[in-house]
């Protein structure tokens, strides 16, 4: 059985996009629940400006006060050296760097060119040099940009190259606004796995246009085994407010488990937690299995 | 480029499941719009008891008064000889028979065993013998039954065999309550295409648990080229009232076109019609591309 690693992004990617701040103690309780479910990584928070991202203003406190399961990598998004220092002081397992493949999107997102962003990465990586913190490099808009449109395979490969030059061997290809097709995923990931065999590649899909789970399978067909997902499918992009967001963790695990992949994730508890999250947020979330039940949940005739 | 045939089921499978009756003239106008979009088949209605299915009580009038595009097969679901006679008098192109692979589901659905259902098919087929009407045989719960659970491949193969014995060469495998996984689709369809090469197989998926489009791609990987879908993703099963229904026609065409398959369907008009349908029904529908836009719909930076 192929082992697939499920990485939860709801506490950061999901909650960041909510209209309402989730109380710090609720956030910690939520992450503590997630820590027991067999997920291999949890993106806990982002060490960004509290003014820019109000919802994650409690980054230090959350990171310092969650219960740590030694089998889980507790990760945080970091945009600059200041964030890296805050993250290191908060004892993160992994720092997640992010640059957009699309220069236009990068300028919009962080006000810098992709080149300047990479210059910033150098000082972060230098600072982390003597620390036991894993570095992961994410590439936003890897499959398409809402301004520029489709992103060429060569553009993505060249950004991976830049990361590799800096010694970053954990790469995440993020489909920031849900523009990837399974064909594109298959083709791009084939090029990556053919060119580098020392990289750990994560795919981060959104289900904006219904292709999220199909994209995961296309990735698995190229040998990729690490996937981000968000409990209840929360998160999403501001460009399509009505559209659904990240692929849902419980829908992903449900599909993979019933296709005989091994995720090691407790599906029933994951579904229960998606329902708990819905209560916590006070609104419906996009997850489907939490509404329809598992395919093994039968009715009496 | 591989040609994929898109078959629209919203007028029957979709509208049947709506709480409110759509006025006959609106229904006809809707089908007339659909007839111009490059769809290869439209399931127009069902010739069932008007008491049992109030929403389709206008079957004759609708079938007799729609504009016919000669490139489109206008099909209708027929449960018995009486329905077949009504359908034949209304000039249908195709009669769609339906039996459930699950005996329990069949008893619940039509009050007969699968064996008795096939006995009824014999008289329908005999009646149609001298008529220029195509016969299609659908198999409900082909991938799973909400009462019995998973359906064995052999059970489905044996029902196809029964249809083939009656001379039915158009077969639809329907995932009535959205229980299929891509692995299961791939395995079952491989067995079918290996055993019969004279059958035209249609796959009919629901997106109940988010796997709808992934299931389509698994089917295509076995060589299947005919797919049912419902505009806006309407339809669905009464067992999961909160869950989404059929796969959405515009989401399906959107994915396939951007994967370089040839559907011949006008995507922009399909999306416009999904929005029109939403107005007609007076409630939100599950389609995703109609909310998020196509992957080529860009924003100004």
Model confidence pLDDT, tens digit, residues A95-113: 999 999 999 999 998 999 9
User: What pLDDT, on the 0 to 100 scale, is given for residue B239?
Assistant: 65
Q: What pairs with residue B201 in β-bridges?
A: B171
Helix (H) or strand (E) holding B257: helix B249-258
A142: tokens are 């890897």
From chain B, the residues in CB contact with A109 under 8 A are none
> What residues have CB less than 8 Å from B129, skipping those under 6 apart?
none
**Which residues from A are below 8 Å from B256, CB to CB?**
none
Q: Helix, strand, coil proportions of chain A in percent (round to 5)?
A: 45, 15, 40
- A positions 113-142 inside 8 Å of B (CB): none
Q: How confident is the model over A250-263, as a mean pLDDT? A: 98
Distances (CA, A) of B28 to B59, B235, B276: 11, 18, 14
pLDDT at residue A1, rounded to an integer: 86
**Percent residues over pLDDT 70 in chain B:** 98
CA A28-A32-A34 angle, 5° bins: 115
Segment A180-191 shows an average pLDDT of: 98
Asked if A209's CB is within 8 angstroms of B295's CB, the reply is yes
Task: Tell me if B178 and A108 make a contact (CB, 8 A cut-off).
Answer: no
On chain A, the residues whose CB falls within 8 A of the CB of B213 are: 210-211, 213-214
Q: Pick from A147, A148, A183: which is nearest to B260 by CB?
A: A183
Mean pLDDT of chain B: 96
pLDDT value of residue A240: 67
First to last CA, chain A: 34
Q: To probe the interface with B, which of A214, A215, A267, A298 has the most B CB atoms within 10 Å?
A: A214
Q: What is the CA radius of gyration of chain B?
A: 18
Q: Is residue B297 one of the residues assigned to a domain?
A: no
Residue A146 has its nearest CB partner, among B244, B260, B299, at B299
Of B168, B91, B115, B162, the closest CA to residue B137 belongs to B168
* B290 touching chain A per CB within 8 A: no
Instruction: Check pLDDT > 70 for residue B240.
Output: no
The mean pLDDT value for B30-36 works out to 98
Q: What is the spatial distance between Cα A222 and Cα A180, in angstroms, rounded to a whole number? A: 15
Each residue's pLDDT tens digit, B170-219: 999 999 999 999 999 999 999 999 999 999 999 999 999 999 999 999 99
Model-wide pTM > 0.90: yes
Instruction: Identify the pLDDT of residue B25.
Output: 98
As a whole number, mean pLDDT of residues B275-299 equals: 96
**pLDDT value at position B13?**
94
Q: Tell me if B86 is assigned to some domain.
A: yes
Average pLDDT, chain A: 96
In this structure, is residue B175 part of a structural domain? yes
A115-152 burial, b at 16+ Cβ within 10 Å, e below that, comes to: eebbebbeebbeebeeeebbbbbbbbbbbbbbbbebbe
Of A150, A184, A214, the CB nearest to B217: A214
Residues 244-283 of A with CB under 8 A from B: 244, 248, 251, 254-255, 258-260
pLDDT at B6: 98
A29 touches chain B (CB under 8 A): no
- Shortest Cα–Cα distance, A291 to chain B (Å): 6
Give the largest Cα separation in chain A, rounded: 64
Rounded Cα distance between B56 and B235, Å, is 14
Q: Looking at CA atoms only, how far is residue A199 from chain B in angstroms?
A: 27
pLDDT number for residue A236: 79
Q: Which two tokens stand for residue B214?
A: 């992934």
Query: Would you say residue B97 has pLDDT above 70?
Result: yes
CATH code assigned at B37: 3.20.20.70
Contact across the interface for B209 and A255, Cβ inside 8 Å: yes
CA closest to B184 among chain A residues: A259
Q: Is residue A299 part of a domain?
A: no
Residue A301: the pLDDT is 81
Q: Is B146 contained in some domain? A: yes
CB contact under 8 A, B296 and A149: yes
| A104: nearest CA partner in chain B | B301
CA dist A13 → A17, A51, A99 (Å): 7, 17, 15
> Does residue B243 surpass a pLDDT of 80?
no
Interface residue A187 vs chain B (CB under 8 A) = no
Tell whether A298 is covered by a domain. no
Q: Where are the beta strands (DSSP E) in B52-111?
A: 73-77, 94-100
Q: Which of these is catalytic: B124, B237, B267, B281? A: B237
Tell me: pLDDT of A275 over 90: yes
Residues of A in contact with B150 (CB under 8 A): 295
On whether any CB of chain A is under 8 Å from the CB of B146, the answer is: yes
| CB-based contact A212 B207, cutoff 8 Å | no
Phi and psi dihedrals of A27, rounded to 5?
-60, -45
pLDDT band at residue B1 under the 50/70/90 scheme? confident
**How many domains in chain B?**
1
Per-residue confidence (pLDDT) for residue B244, from 0 to 100:
83
Nearest-neighbour CA in chain B from A248: distance (Å): 9
Flag whether residue A181 sits within 8 Å of chain B, measured between CB atoms.
Answer: yes
* pLDDT (0 to 100) of residue B34: 98
What is the Cα–Cα distance from A147 to B4, expressed in whole angstroms? 30
Domain that holds residue A150: 5-292
Q: Is residue A255 part of a domain?
A: yes
Sort out which chain B residues have CB atoms less than 8 A from A275's CB and list them.
none
First-residue to last-residue Cα distance in chain B = 34
Query: For chain A, what is the total number of helices (H) and then of strands (E)?
Result: 12, 8
pLDDT in tens, A24-67: 999 999 999 999 999 999 999 999 999 999 999 999 999 999 99
Per CB-CB distance under 8 Å, the chain A contacts of B295 are 144, 150, 179, 181, 209
Judged by a CB distance cut-off of 8 A, whether residue B82 touches chain A is: no
- Residue B243 within any structural domain of the chain: yes
Residues of B in contact with A267 (CB under 8 A): none
Candidate from B149, B239, B251 with C-beta closest to A210: B251
Q: ipTM higher than 0.85?
A: yes
The answer to whether residue A237 is catalytic is yes
pLDDT at B183: 98
């Amino acid at each position: 059985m192929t082992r697939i690693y499920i990485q939860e992004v709801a506490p950061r990617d999901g909650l960041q996009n909510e209209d309402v701040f989730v109380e710090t103690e609720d956030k910690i309780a939520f992450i503590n629940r997630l820590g027991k479910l067999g997920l291999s990584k949890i993106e806990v928070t982002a060490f960004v400006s509290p003014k820019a991202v109000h919802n994650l203003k409690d980054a230090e406190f959350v990171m310092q006060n969650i219960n740590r399961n030694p089998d889980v990598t507790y990760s945080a998004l970091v945009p600059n050296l200041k964030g890296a220092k805050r993250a290191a002081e908060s004892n993160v397992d992994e720092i997640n760097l992010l640059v957009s493949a699309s220069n236009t999107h990068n300028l919009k997102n962080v006000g810098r060119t992709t080149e300047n962003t990479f210059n910033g990465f150098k000082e972060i990586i230098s600072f982390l040099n003597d620390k036991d913190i894993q570095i992961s490099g994410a590439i936003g808009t890897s499959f398409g940009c809402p301004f520029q449109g489709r992103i060429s395979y060569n553009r993505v490969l060249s950004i991976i190259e830049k990361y590799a030059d800096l010694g970053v061997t954990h790469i995440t290809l993020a489909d920031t606004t849900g523009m990837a097709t399974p064909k594109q995923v298959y083709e791009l990931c084939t090029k990556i796995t053919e060119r580098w065999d020392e990289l750990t590649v994560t795919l981060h899909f959104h289900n904006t246009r219904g292709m999220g789970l199909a994209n995961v399978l296309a990735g698995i067909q190229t040998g990729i085994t690490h996937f981000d997902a968000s409990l209840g499918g929360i998160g999403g992009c501001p460009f399509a407010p009505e559209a659904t967001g990240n692929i849902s963790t419980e829908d992903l695990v449900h599909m993979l488990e019933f296709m005989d992949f091994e995720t090691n994730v407790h599906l029933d508890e994951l579904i229960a937690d998606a329902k708990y999250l819905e209560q916590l947020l006070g609104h419906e979330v996009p997850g489907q299995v939490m509404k329809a039940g598992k395919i093994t949940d039968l009715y009496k005739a």
